[in-house]
Structure 1
């Protein structure tokens, strides 16, 4: 006699029974119905809203993956651009294209400088001409100190705005000439000539700043140095009065005539001031610096001015 399965009640014929197609078909129908019911129960637990939410999350994930890929591509492009710029910079350095341009005017006179395209600011260094020092003879017996010339007023590497394509006038001041002394009076040397550029004027050094000091006419200009009267060389209390970032004052020299004299050195400029002297031998006077005082001969000329344009 046949039996039935415990879960779906499928009929199981005994081994001694003949095959009955109706029994087989009945079992198939029971299995089909059971699977249909199971599928319906599973489907009934998932709503359309759930499916939409799943689709939305999947779209968000896909979008996030796309954004990450996009940023990755941007980073790669940025790195490629940086490498390209680096290669270009190295090539320019190798070819000398990045060398700084400098225009130097160091001879007295009037010149022009045309601002190149793309240049809107320059770095300016400028000195007026230095003054010549005082001169006396061996008959001079008034005061012990004889002064050198002042250094020219100056601009120390200051930024100045310019207009591309504009032509600017450049003036370089001449150093003051020394004067041959006579008798018992002091022969003051000549003052230095003024230098100018971009509407800025650097006065030349005066022959005696002690008697008639002047002040700069532009905020970028620094007053010229004073002549150094220092009995023991450079150890002065007001050393800054005699020096610039580029030069030192000239040294003193002693002379004996009607009295013992202290021939002062010239104030510093773009170079060192001239030393006091007692012979006709010309001393070295730096650019824009004053020459030293002299004894029985004319003082040397002050140093010529200079204009330096960096761009």
Structure 2
């Protein structure tokens, strides 16, 4: 009986050693700063995803000593456990930067993650910030873009809308609003120059005209991004550090030099 117990204990120890030695979880993070498609790897059923919406650009300034309003910041959304399907294709839209102009500030573009289907299934959405108001002879100190308060989707971990832009004054142009993810908005100036919003999703400053100066454009709203992180199972060998990657669809090797392994 004692001998059998010893044999079982050795067997369990060997099995545990095999599992600890040859199997382990690794993690991959991919950042998207432009539109793309992501195909869920084999064996991956849950991801962590973050999205930053693009910032609105500032309003322009037209006329002597006028100050446009700053653009609002884009939103931030995070989900630590979004369910996904291995082999499925997902469409990623990233809010690009918005270049300022002389008129109304344009709204920032939302960043999103959607299952590619007909119709598409929107799973994550971080809205862009509103553009600032332009300064004119009838409105020399214009308001900033209002904060967006609806439109985010899927932010079960974090769901934060960007801050509004501030109004222009006689002293300077309006400031851009900070993004929901913490990026700073562009600071309004009392010169012909403007400040863009900071990455990712900060709103652009308003434009400002000096005495007898030409019209000025508003500051650029910063672009957004999407970040995906997932874990996957590695089978590691002992002879040449080869491994079978179950989460990235990589080519398989034979770490033990005896059999060929297949993804299951």
TM-score by length of 2: 0.64
Alpha-carbon spacing, 1:82–1:154, altered in 2? closer, same or farther (3 Å):
same
Q: Give the RMSD, CA atoms, in angstroms.
A: 3.0
1:216 partner SS = coil
Alpha-carbon spacing, 1:74–1:292, altered in 2? closer, same or farther (3 Å):
farther
- CA distance, structure 1, for counterparts of residue 130 and residue 194 of structure 2: 23
Alpha-carbon spacing, 1:87–1:217, altered in 2? closer, same or farther (3 Å):
closer
Of the three residues 30, 36, 57, the one matched with 1:103 is 30
- CA distance, structure 1, for counterparts of residue 112 and residue 7 of structure 2: 55
- CA distance, structure 2, for counterparts of residue 210 and residue 283 of structure 1: 14
Match of 1:121 in 2: 46
- CA distance, structure 2, for counterparts of residue 215 and residue 147 of structure 1: 21
Alpha-carbon spacing, 1:282–1:148, altered in 2? closer, same or farther (3 Å):
closer
Higher Rg of the two aligned structures: 1
Alpha-carbon spacing, 1:76–1:136, altered in 2? closer, same or farther (3 Å):
same
Deviation at 1:171, TM superposition (A): 1.0
Higher strand share: 2
What is the 5 A alignment of 1:53-132?
66=1, 68-88=2-22, 99-107=26-34, 109=35, 111-132=36-57
1:260 partner SS = coil
Structure ranking higher on relative contact order (CA contacts 8 Å, 6+ apart): 2
What is the 5 A alignment of 1:73-222?
73-88=7-22, 99-107=26-34, 109=35, 111-137=36-62, 139=64, 147-180=69-102, 187-198=103-114, 199=122, 200-207=124-131, 213-220=148-155, 222=159
Alpha-carbon spacing, 1:280–1:302, altered in 2? closer, same or farther (3 Å):
same
- CA distance, structure 2, for counterparts of residue 229 and residue 275 of structure 1: 10
Aligned length: 201
1:266 correspondence with 2:177: yes
Match of 2:243 in 1: none
Deviation at 1:119, TM superposition (A): 0.6
Of the three residues 220, 223, 229, the one matched with 1:301 is 220
Deviation at 1:266, TM superposition (A): 2.8
Match of 1:5 in 2: none
Higher helix share: 1
Alpha-carbon spacing, 1:260–1:289, altered in 2? closer, same or farther (3 Å):
closer
Unaligned runs of 5+ in 2: 115-121, 133-143, 210-215, 231-264
Unaligned runs of 5+ in 1: 1-65, 93-97, 181-186, 231-253
Alpha-carbon spacing, 1:300–1:125, altered in 2? closer, same or farther (3 Å):
same
2:27 partner SS = coil
- CA distance, structure 1, for counterparts of residue 146 and residue 20 of structure 2: 59
Partners of 1:149 and 1:267 within 8 A in 2:
no
1:234-286 CA-to-partner distances (Å, cap 9, x unmatched) read xxxxxxxxxxxxxxxxxxxx97xxx3346324322543322223343654621
Partners of 2:195 and 2:204 within 8 A in 1:
no
